[in-house]
C-alpha cells in the first residue's frame, strides 16, 4: 500500500539548525526525502541578484533599441545627446526659441493634423540644429513618432543617386523615405547652390508632405527672403498656409563662446 510516508513526504516538515558560512545558523526545513532548505538569506540575495541582472539586461536592450532608432532617424552622432533640457536659455530671445520648441514638441499631435511646419533661421552656432534635434528626440521617445533628420544636400543626393542604373532604390522610394516620417528635419537649407533640379526635388518632397499634412522643420543660415527665394514661392506659401512660423536665432554663436 502506498502511503504518504512511502513517497518520502513528511506530513509535518522536519526541521534542524544548519549553518551558513556567510550568514551563520538558520532553521532548515525538509518536506520530502532528505532535501533540506538552504540559507534563506543566501536565497534572497541570489534572487535579488537575478532580478538586478534581468533589469540591467532590459535596460541595455532598451538602450540598444533606442540607439538603433536614433541612428535610423539620421540624427548626427554629435547631436544624439542634445535635448530640449540641455539647451541653455540665457537671454529672453533664447528662452522664446526654447519655449517654441517645447510647445511644438508638446503639441506635436496637433502639428500632425494641421501640418504646421516651422523655419529656424539665423547665424551659425546659435542652436538651431540642437533645438530641432531636441524636438525630434522628444517626440520619438515620448510618442514613438517617426523622425528623419537630413541635410538638404543628403536628401537631394539620395534622390539623385536613384537615377543611376545600378541603384537599388527607386526614385519613388527615395522620395517616400522623405515623405513618410511624421517629422522631417531638413537642415542646412541654402548651403549649396539650389539648381532647378534640386528645387524640383525639394518641391516634390515638401509638396507631398504638405498634401499629407506632415510637418517639416526647415533650418537655414539664410534670412527669410533668401529662404523664400531658395525654396520658391510655391513651397514657401504652403509652409505659411498651415501656420508655419519663422523663429529667428539672432544671438552670438555658442561655438565661438566655447573657443573663447
Ligand atoms: N543655448 C544652448 N545651450 C546649450 N548648447 C548650445 C546652445 N546653443 C548651441 N549649443 C551647442 O552649440 C553647438 C552649435 O549649435 P548648433 O549646431 O545647434 O547651431 P546651429 O544654429 O545649427 O549652427 P549652424 O547654422 O552652423 O548649423 C552645438 O554643440 C549645440 O549643442
Ligand atoms: Mg546646424
Ligand atoms: Zn547564507
Q: 89-131, pLDDT tens digit by residue?
A: 999 999 999 999 999 999 999 999 999 999 999 999 999 999 9
Res. 222 pLDDT band, cuts 50 70 90: very high
**What number is the average pLDDT over the span 14-33?**
94
Domain layout of the chain by residue ranges: 1-72, 75-259
Between 7 and 206, residue with greater pLDDT: 206
Atom of ligand 1 minimally distant from the CA of 130: 18
| Percent of all residues in the chain with a pLDDT value above 70, rounded to a whole number | 97
**Residue count of the chain:** 260
State the Cα–Cα distance between residues 176 and 169, nearest whole angstrom.
11
Q: What is the pLDDT of residue 6?
A: 67
Express as a percent the part of the chain with pLDDT over 90: 78
The DSSP symbol for 84 reads: S
Task: Out of 53-62, 123-132, 174-183, 233-242, pick the least confident.
Answer: 233-242
Architecture category of domain 75-259 in CATH: 3-Layer(aba) Sandwich (3.40)
With a cut of 70, say whether residue 2 has pLDDT above it.
Answer: no
The answer to whether residue 260 scores a pLDDT higher than 60 is: no
| Concatenated DSSP letters of 113-157 | HHT--EEEEESTTSSHHHHHHHHHHHHHHHH---EEEEEHHHHHH
pLDDT above 80 (res 5): no
Query: What's residue 223's pLDDT?
Result: 93
Q: How far apart are CA 11 and CA 146, in angstroms?
A: 62
Neighbour tally for 72: CB within 10 Å: 13
CB 98 within 8 A of CB 131: yes
| pLDDT score of 191 | 84
Question: Residue 79 phi/psi, 5° resolution?
Answer: -100, 0
Q: Which residues line ligand 1 (CB under 6 A)?
A: 82, 86-88, 94, 124-130, 221, 249, 254-255
DSSP 26: E
Q: Return the pLDDT at 258.
A: 61
Provide mean pLDDT across the span 175-200: 90
Q: Tell me the ligand closest to 87's alpha carbon.
A: 1
Q: Indicate which ligand has the atom closest to the C-alpha of 130.
A: 1
pLDDT of residue 3: 62
Which atom of ligand 1 is nearest to 94's Cα?
1
Across the range 170-190, mean pLDDT stands at 95
Q: Output the pLDDT for position 39.
A: 96
Rounded distance from Cα 47 to ligand 3 centre (Å): 13
What average pLDDT is seen over the chain? 92
pTM summary value: 0.84
Query: Distance between CA atoms of 238 and 251, rounded to whole angstroms?
Result: 28
Write the residue with the smallest CA distance to atom 4 of ligand 1: 87
Residue 132 CA: nearest ligand 1 atom is: 18
Nearest ligand by distance to the CA of 221: 1
- Residue 97 and residue 131 in contact, taking contact as beta carbons nearer than 8 Å: yes
Amino acid at each position: 500500500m502506498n502511503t504518504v510516508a512511502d513517497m518520502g513526504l513528511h506530513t509535518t516538515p522536519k526541521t534542524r539548525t544548519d549553518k551558513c558560512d556567510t550568514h551563520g545558523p538558520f532553521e532548515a526545513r525538509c518536506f520530502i526525502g532528505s532535501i533540506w532548505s538552504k540559507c534563506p538569506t543566501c536565497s534572497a540575495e541570489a534572487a535579488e541578484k537575478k532580478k538586478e541582472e534581468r533589469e540591467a539586461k532590459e535596460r541595455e536592450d532598451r538602450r540598444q533599441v533606442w540607439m538603433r532608432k536614433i541612428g535610423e532617424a539620421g540624427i548626427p552622432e554629435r547631436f544624439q545627446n542634445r535635448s530640449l533640457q540641455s539647451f541653455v536659455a540665457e537671454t529672453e530671445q533664447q528662452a522664446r526659441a526654447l519655449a517654441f520648441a517645447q510647445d511644438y514638441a508638446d503639441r506635436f499631435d496637433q502639428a500632425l493634423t494641421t501640418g504646421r511646419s516651422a523655419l529656424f533661421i539665423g547665424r551659425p552656432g546659435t542652436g538651431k540644429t540642437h533645438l530641432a534635434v531636441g524636438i525630434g528626440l522628444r517626440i520619438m521617445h515620448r510618442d514613438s513618432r517617426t523622425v528623419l533628420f537630413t541635410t538638404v544636400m543628403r536628401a537631394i543626393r539620395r534622390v539623385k543617386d536613384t537615377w543611376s542604373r545600378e541603384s537599388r532604390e527607386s526614385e519613388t522610394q527615395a522620395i517616400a523615405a522623405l515623405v513618410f516620417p511624421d517629422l522631417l528635419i531638413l537642415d542646412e537649407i541654402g548651403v549649396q547652390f539650389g539648381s532647378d533640379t534640386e528645387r524640383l526635388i525639394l518641391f516634390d518632397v515638401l509638396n507631398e508632405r504638405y498634401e499629407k499634412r506632415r510637418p517639416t522643420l526647415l533650418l537655414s543660415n539664410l534670412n527669410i527672403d533668401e529662404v523664400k527665394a531658395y525654396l520658391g514661392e510655391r513651397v514657401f506659401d504652403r509652409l505659411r498656409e498651415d501656420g508655419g512660423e519663422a523663429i529667428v536665432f539672432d544671438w552670438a554663436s555658442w561655438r565661438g563662446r566655447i573657443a573663447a
